[in-house]
Structure 1
């Protein structure tokens, strides 16, 4: 058996997240259907990060095992022929997976990067619906950045995890959290070893409260130390969230794409 790794890009708007569901309206369901049509076999896929409904991916990494021989370019062209317009394979490669510590899309990853695109304007932008979050009051990006920096490092992020989060430990390490204002767009970039369920959207929601002036930047540190989800801001909308990059050890020699290709990111 060969282990094939794919990089997947998708618009999460029409899908009920990554993970397979009875409805079949998920990214995993459509990818496995495309694999079945292309290989005439049943294939089970494994992803680096299970995105929620409405969440997008610039570079989701997926692996599967198969006995079928194909060139990398053939996997890309063949699968894209069976995928809907909102999902595309960007690249494919084969890795060695004979040993117990062989490559795994999820467990071999040592860091992940998410972007959150937030449109900050008094009037909503119809052309950005589904692609960006929206805040109609002017946000103080400098105050939000000061608050964000209080989250750097290794902490118990219970205050920012979903109630139904299944992670064994709430302790994660945020290596980088930046905000960049570009006109009416604010782009958040979070880089961490791993994220809890809803962690990015919960952090963004609380930073927006700081940006509104509802709380000072220090409030975020208070939330972190209290570990009480009910004290933090509501989970922010999924629309502007993008799984941007998965980091792996160079030994796997996975292709790397330069830049996001999107002007708002």
Structure 2
């Protein structure tokens, strides 16, 4: 590599979102982007501009978060992998891990090159608790009609205007999104844990959390059964359900090829753990 030649790096991370104020760097709060930028500077003494696949709300977890950036570093991929993980865990003491690092084509963009994402939301419906699972779930203690809950989630599948399901401060110009598939199941060991897997071409700010909150409010008889379908028509956030808490949401996977996306959509079983 020439002295001034940049290369495009693609890095894949996982993290526990409890102590982060989301991914996107913001003033006066600690974010994942800030943590990664700091770790990269410690390793290479280089300041880079990170491009993430998603903003992610404060408290949301990542099983597979992809970002890219241009760098002049001559460090090997193996040294970067080991070096950054050492800095995260031993120096910064952060619950974030780098899974893979690779060179990619110059036109690869972590956000705009993606053609789909898979998110998972966890609900814990019961009075008993689990030391690990419950803290990663939205603990709903009120009685839920589980059959109705699962049925309501299927109303989201397809292409719709999700204006009624976005945050009031969401600035996205395009509110038309396509939900490819929603798979709902009970945890195979702990039936109190409800696992909701959602695949889509893109998501608005707070969209999944508002989708989940609305479905739960319908299943607990707080909202009419036609709330979701009516929401696509009136587009009014104030007539929908609560926004489910961030700690129940995990970005599971980002897809950059139709083969990857179609393979995931055709799968019949999914790993039951939050990550």
- TM-score scaled by length of structure 1: 0.90
Q: Distance in 2 between matches of 1:260 and 1:60?
A: 18
Most deviating of 208-217 and 76-85 = 208-217
1:7 maps to 2:16: no
CA RMSD in angstroms, aligned pairs only: 2.3
Equivalent of 2:73 in 65, 68, 75: 68
Query: CA 1:191–1:38 in 2, change beyond 3 Å: closer, same or farther?
Result: same
Correspondence for 1:133: 138
1:186 maps to 2:191: no
Most deviating of 84-93 and 154-163 = 84-93
Equivalent of 2:105 in 80, 96, 99: 96
1:80 maps to 2:76: no
Contact 1:113 1:245 in 2 (8 A): yes
1:170 maps to 2:179: no
Q: Distance in 2 between matches of 1:104 and 1:131?
A: 30
Q: Distance in 2 between matches of 1:64 and 1:93?
A: 11
1:117 maps to 2:122: yes
**Structure 2 matches for 1:103-252, cutoff 5 A?**
103-123=108-128, 125=130, 127-128=132-133, 130-182=135-187, 183-249=191-257
Q: Distance in 2 between matches of 1:264 and 1:250?
A: 25
Query: CA 1:251–1:212 in 2, change beyond 3 Å: closer, same or farther?
Result: closer
The 3-state SS of whatever aligns with 1:236 is: coil
Offset of residue 76 of structure 1: 1.2
Contact 2:217 2:242 in 1 (8 A): no
The 3-state SS of whatever aligns with 1:38 is: helix
Most deviating of 160-169 and 134-143 = 134-143
Instruction: Extract unaligned runs of 5+ from structure 2.
Output: 1-5
Correspondence for 2:3: none
Q: Deviations over 1:19-49 (max 9, x none)?
A: 1123351100010000001111111111001
Q: Deviations over 1:201-229 (max 9, x none)?
A: 00000010122133454332112222110
Contact 1:117 1:186 in 2 (8 A): yes
The 3-state SS of whatever aligns with 1:29 is: helix
Q: Distance in 1 between matches of 2:10 and 2:142?
A: 43
- TM-score scaled by length of structure 2: 0.87
Q: Distance in 1 between matches of 2:20 and 2:135?
A: 12
Q: Deviations over 1:76-103 (max 9, x none)?
A: 1111111134111011111010xxxx10
Higher helix proportion (structure 1 or 2): 2
